[in-house]
Amino acid sequence: MSKADKLKARAPRGFADRGPADLSATERMLAAIRETYELYGFEGVETPFVEYTDALGKFLPDQDRPNEGVFSFQDDDEQWLSLRYDLTAPLARYVAENFDALPKPYRSYRAGWVFRNEKPGPGRFRQFMQFDADTVGAASVAADAEICMMAADTLEKVGIQRGDFIVKVNNRKVLDGVLEAIGLGGDDKAGQRLTVLRAIDKLDRLGRDGVQQLLGKGRKDESGDFTKGAELADAQITKLLLFLFSPFGHTASPQPTPTDHSAETIEGTTIFKSTKNALAIQQLRKLDFESATYRAGVDELAQIAELVDAAGYEDRVIIDPSVVRGLEYYTGPVYEAELTFQVQDEDGRPVRFGSVGGGGRYDGLVGRFRPEPVPATGFSIGVSRLFSALRMVNSPIVSGQDKPGPVVVLVMDRDQVAAYQRMVSSLRQAGIRAELYLGSSGMKAQMKYADKRQSPCVIIQGSNERERGEVEIKDLIEGAKAAEAIASNEEWKAARPAQFSIPEDRLVEAVREVLGRHFS
């Protein structure tokens, strides 16, 4: 059979395998997140990967494009099912289904895989993990403030330094109020409102000029592709910019970014960067848009600011009116956890990491299943994104030393496998990772195998040792160090560095000693 006839071994586009190093590092990171969530009083819950499509709330697949955005399929009874694309909608379903039994407010966390059927890119997969925490049944913005503080604690817990991240907070009511006040209220303006929100959402990436273009006629990107704008009048744009930059400077990071300036001039008014949430609230009140929604939203932000400032989080949880988040179901406070440090990619170009998580209040979601309205708020961490960020800053939680490989018992004589297996068993019974070499190659290959497995040492017993009732232990870590000084192969072989012989009944003891040398 020629190679062309063989199946090509490849993971599907946008799906990734994970090796042992990733697995254990991810596990450590998840444990740290879980610990923080637990500390705040949240409890675990798990829901399935698959939900009824209508429970996910987006849209029923139509016949032509049943998998637009989500992975969907039909059950025996014609019911549409979908792989979940976030953890919020499934939680809403769970809470509604178990409403009477759950304590309220119900506070729970869960980590899990979610799936999105869209074009993958670097660092962007069709299967990825989220780690959420939600408070359901609490209308008070104290719940929102708490979740923001918890997000900050979580990032520190996994090894992001204070100052290298911020949790930005805004309120959809504020945004809605501003849009209303500049004449974009009403159902007929829904499309335009959406375009405006999308433009605002891009502030940190495109900067003020880009957003200004998108609010007006539109913007052309580097490749010459044109994005149609919201077609707002200049007066409307000015008001929006005044709003966006009112507590100006809160997307700031130690390094310059497109949005990081110490002052901004809009229509002759120069606005200086403020660094205090209370000041930001003052500014927002000063703008005084003619909208009850706006004032209610600012009041909520003021409460949140007061709570986080009182708890000493004012340098990490920051009011920022440019945060938009999802366009689908958020109804009140929205938040976004952003990493503010810069790193270099492989080509040495500076890269900003940006958002590693976000969330907000979704008061309408559980209510879809219930006769009564149920307020809820929650936060979601993009586990994979956070993980690669931690890799880049070398957080000890992901770069910590991996556990050593197994002690490998070499097979010198095929007819002695039972004896070798006995050694393996005695090591295992002593709690030491160990294995018999199960391949068919010679000794040299077995040494290479042990090396690749990161074995701390190998056990050697040929006929010579057996006759004396001994085994040889070769310390591979020590040996590798010793080898650096050896140039010729003859010397290398003769020296047998870091190798010693012991009576067979002292095997466990001696291996323990070797392990103790390197992994105390």
Partner RNA sequence: GCAGCCGUAGCUCAGUUGGUUAGAGCACCAGAUUGUGGAUCUGGGGGUCCCCCGUUCGAGCCGGGGCGGCUGUACCA
Residues annotated as binding site for L-histidine? 86-88, 116, 130, 134, 325, 329-330
Q: Which is nearer to RNA, 279 or 495 (CB)?
A: 495
Minimum CB separation of residue 206 from RNA in Å reads: 6
Binding residues: 86-88, 116, 130, 134, 325, 329-330
Which amino acid, residue 125? F
> If DSSP states are collapsed to H, E and C, what string results for 199-234?
HHHCHHHHHHHHHHHHHCCEEECCCCCEEECCCCCH
Distance set, CA 25 to CA 214, 261, 398, 431, 439 (Å): 41, 37, 5, 22, 29
What tokens does 435 get? 């294995």
Site stretch for RNA (CB under 7 A), options 16-24, 224-232, 270-278, 389-397: 224-232
Instruction: Tell which one of 129, 472, 507, 515 touches RNA (CB under 7 A).
Output: 472
389 touching RNA, by CB under 7 A: no
Contact 475, 457 (CB under 8 A): yes
Minimum CB separation of residue 373 from RNA in Å reads: 19
The Cα–Cα gap between 202 and 327 comes to 13
Task: Report the 10 Å Cβ neighbour count for 97.
Answer: 14
Instruction: Tell which one of 298, 447, 459, 511 touches RNA (CB under 7 A).
Output: 447
Instruction: Tell which one of 157, 173, 239, 474 touches RNA (CB under 7 A).
Output: 474
- DSSP strand pairing (317-319 vs 165-171): parallel
193 touching RNA, by CB under 7 A: no
Where do the H-state alpha helices sit in 67-171? 88-97, 141-157
CA gyration radius, the chain: 30
Site stretch for RNA (CB under 7 A), options 38-46, 128-136, 221-229, 314-322: 221-229
Minimum CB separation of residue 443 from RNA in Å reads: 4
The Cα–Cα gap between 254 and 159 comes to 18
30 backbone dihedrals φ, ψ, rounded to 5°: -60, -40
Minimum CB separation of residue 379 from RNA in Å reads: 12
65 touching RNA, by CB under 7 A: no
363 touching RNA, by CB under 7 A: no
344 touching RNA, by CB under 7 A: no
Burial (0-12, 13-18, 19+ Cβ within 10 Å), 170:
buried
Site stretch for RNA (CB under 7 A), options 72-80, 105-113, 325-333, 366-374: 325-333
| Beta carbons within 8 Å of 351's beta carbon, 6+ residues apart | 342, 343, 344, 345
Minimum CB separation of residue 491 from RNA in Å reads: 8
- DSSP strand pairing (165-171 vs 218-220): unpaired
Instruction: Tell which one of 216, 326, 364, 367 touches RNA (CB under 7 A).
Output: 326
118 touching RNA, by CB under 7 A: yes
Minimum CB separation of residue 120 from RNA in Å reads: 7
265 touching RNA, by CB under 7 A: no
Instruction: Tell which one of 313, 479, 507, 511 touches RNA (CB under 7 A).
Output: 479
Stated length of the chain: 520
Q: Which residues bind RNA (CB under 7 A)?
A: 2-4, 13, 58, 69-70, 85-86, 88-89, 116-122, 194-195, 198, 202, 205-206, 214, 219, 221-225, 227, 325-329, 412, 441-445, 447-448, 451, 460, 462-465, 472, 474-480, 483, 486-489, 492-493, 496-499
